[in-house]
Amino acid sequence: MVTPVLFDVHRGRCDPDRPGIFHDDLSVVRGDGIFETLLVRDGKVCNLARHLTRFATGAERMELPPPSLAKWDATVNAALAAWVLANGEAEGLMRLVYTRGRESAPADSAHPEATTALVMILDVGPHAAAARAEGVAVCLLDRGYSVDFAARAPWQLIGVKTLSYAANMAALRHARAAGFDDVVYVSSDGEVLEGPRSSVVVVRGRELVTVPAEAGILPGTTVAAIFALAQQQGWECRTASLTPDDLWEADSVWLCSSVTIAARVTRIDERELSLSTVAAESAAQFAELAARAITVA
């Protein structure tokens, strides 16, 4: 049993067992905000710089007051120190939450202190470890838009990690009710996109392929870390459009995310994805690479 930690960027440490959000906070009534989820491992926050960069980009696209990354970084470190003091080197799920504040007095560039700005660290739970060790069975679900939709409709905030995750959670419930662990979204024009909480990576020998952000996906911080280290180690890394056929024909397919890190896809719809001897070797190398990449980022 771990002890959760909660900090307010504006006001310091808070009691995680006491209410901390106003009834009219725009995160609650409108989903008006952004968040990031990070892994705490071995007493360190993994891949923090990439998350803070994406966090700032998301705030800009949402027209939120620009977050002071120095303040957020300091609060992250304070929360980490409190977590380590209470829980040692136990894995934790860190979440950064940034909202427009109260509907009755919303934040703007002149009043950035009116934002709701929280850093919390919670128990990872059993799902991540199981997915890493056993892999995941996924179903393909129609995302309902084409790959050029994000460019045509920037107000839809495609590719921003907003708090409006109800559709993603509904997709996961649908998948689990049908006997699957997770989801891979496919565009209306038949291209692979991403998971509700993950990026898709295809392994072909020593080549790694992921979907370009321009297809209307959230740019994956974990994939960026993996690709950076992989290129140093001689892997070929690139972005390209992928179809379901590309997944079935790959040596291995992975869902990569901040907390799970990398989960091999073992089944897509009703089709098992078995590993040849050679593919099993490259899959093991990829899993090791991914685990190391987030700690050196």
pLDDT tens, 240-295?
999 999 999 999 999 999 999 999 999 999 999 999 887 999 999 999 999 999 99
Same domain, 77 and 155: no
Which pLDDT value is given to residue 7? Answer: 99
Average pLDDT over residues 168-180: 98
Domain count, the chain: 2
CATH code, domain with 190: 3.20.10.10
Same domain, 136 and 67: no
Same domain, 168 and 281: yes
Same domain, 148 and 275: yes
Instruction: Quote the CA–CA distance of 242 and 167 in Å, as a whole number.
Output: 23
User: Is 2 a residue whose pLDDT tops 90?
Assistant: yes
Domain boundary among 103, 124, 145: 124
Same domain, 161 and 90: no
Instruction: Quote the CA–CA distance of 261 and 254 in Å, as a whole number.
Output: 10
Same domain, 45 and 162: no
Q: Please state the three-class secondary structure of the chain as a single string.
A: CCCCEEEECCCEEECCCCCCCCCCEHHHHCCCEEEEEEEEECCEECCHHHHHHHHHHHHHHCCCCCCCHHHHHHHHHHHHHHHHHHHCCCCEEEEEEEECEECCEECCCCCHHHCEEEEEEEECCHHHHHHHHHCEEEEEEECCCCCCHHHHCHHHCCCCCECCCHHHHHHHHHHHHCCCCEEEEECCCCCECCECCEEEEEEECCEEEECCHHHCCCCCHHHHHHHHHHHHCCCEEEECCCCHHHHHHCCEEEEEECCCEEEEEEEECCEECCCCHHHHHHHHHHHHHHHHHHHHC
User: Is 297 a residue whose pLDDT tops 80?
Assistant: no
Q: What is the pLDDT of residues 92-108, one digit of tens each?
A: 999 999 999 999 999 99
Question: How large a percentage of the chain has pLDDT more than 90?
Answer: 97
Same domain, 70 and 167: no
Same domain, 115 and 144: no
Range of the domain at 205: 129-296
Residue of 34, 49, 136, 182 whose CA lies nearest to 95: 34
Same domain, 11 and 109: yes
Same domain, 87 and 204: no
Average pLDDT over residues 16-26: 94
Q: What is the pLDDT of residues 47-92, one digit of tens each?
A: 999 999 999 999 999 999 999 999 999 999 999 999 999 999 999 9
Domain boundary among 124, 139, 154: 124
Average pLDDT over residues 130-149: 97
User: Is 296 a residue whose pLDDT tops 90?
Assistant: no
Average pLDDT over residues 13-38: 96
Domain boundary among 124, 157, 185: 124
Instruction: Quote the CA–CA distance of 287 and 254 in Å, as a whole number.
Output: 9
10 Å CB burial of residue 203 (0-12, 13-18, 19+) is buried
